[in-house]
Amino acid sequence: MIDRKPIRRGFTLLEVVIAISLLVLLMTMLMMFYNNALVQRDEGTKRSRDAQLARVILDRMAGEVRQAVGNVPGYGVGVFGYKDRIEVNTLVMPDRKLSEVQSVRQRKLPAQFDLQQIRYYVAWDEENLTDEGDPRALGLVRRESKTYLRDAIVTSEEAEESAEEVEEAEMAFKEELYAPEIRFLELKYFDGATWWDDWELTQGNSLPQLVRITIGFEPVIPEEQDMDIVEDDFLEDDADVDPLPGDRYSILVRPVQADVFFGSRMSREASAFSEGL
């Protein structure tokens, strides 16, 4: 009887090619899934970071607008602004250091008022243009005036400290690039019935009933016309009709000292009527 050994069969070339193809396809799908997960994670982290930054900035701006004064003689109305910038006279508490006891030899701290002037706007670089030839947005600028009408008084006995006093006087004004990430700012003002693009009232308690603050991370090129001259046409549609883009965040603020009898509405309509004549 002949002893026959079992025939060993290997993989054919076709089977090897199919196996390698399936392995490559499986690894490709796995890498695509892994890469997509990383992209989603990075995008979620960025959105969370942007949302937190926007919330902090909006909370600060809202607090300052909320504490705006009605009309202080010599200092003007509490809210004055346009669509792309705002100036607020807001109530604040002076620094605690001013109430601390100081010796006679210590240099006096610069005086502070309980009223500060805050200004917000987006700065633009007109020299370093983008690839499209448009101005480059630098970010949100915050200007703070701690002391109104403060002049540095330097006597002959204080000549040695004159430079330091002038430096302290300059500390009463602080202008900084507050948030370079924020490159869009839009403001709208509500008089009780109509949304306006600007607010330039100067008589009586002329605070708006609401101020809508919108900030964003993507810049919008300003119009070629002078931004200080804004058309005084009221908005036909409500500000909340159109949804905001994904990179923008908004908040509605009501000044505490706004006239409950809507006196600002009558002043605003009268101002618009007189300018239309």
Q: What domain range is 133 assigned to? A: 43-98+107-276
74 domain-assigned: yes
More confident residue, 72 or 194: 194
Q: Is the pLDDT of residue 173 over 60?
A: yes
Q: What are the beta bridge partners of residue 142?
A: 120, 176
Question: Can you give the pLDDT at residue 158?
Answer: 45
In the predicted model, what is the mean pLDDT of residues 30-37?
90
pLDDT one-digit tens code per residue, 135-151: 889 999 999 886 665 54
Look at residues 265, 263, 273 and name the one whose alpha carbon lies nearest to residue 233. 273
258 domain-assigned: yes
36 domain-assigned: no
8 domain-assigned: no
Please report, for the chain, how many H helices and E strands are present, in that order: 3, 11
Question: Can you give the pLDDT at residue 73?
Answer: 74
151 domain-assigned: yes
What 8-state DSSP symbol labels residue 68?
Answer: B
62 domain-assigned: yes
Per-residue three-class SS string for 193-256: CCEECCECCCCCCCCCCEEEEEEECCCCCCCCCCCCCCCCCCCCCCCCCCCCCCCEEEEEECCC
Q: Is the pLDDT of residue 105 over 70?
A: yes
Tokens 């009223």 sit on residue = 115
Beta strands in the chain (DSSP E): 71-72, 76-77, 79-81, 85-91, 115-125, 136-145, 173-179, 184-190, 195-196, 210-216, 248-253
* Amino acid residing at 182: I
Instruction: Give the count of domains, the chain.
Output: 1
CA 93 to chain centroid, in Å, comes to 23
30 domain-assigned: no
pLDDT one-digit tens code per residue, 227-258: 444 443 444 555 445 678 888 999 999 999 88
Question: Taking the model in full, what pTM does it have?
Answer: 0.71
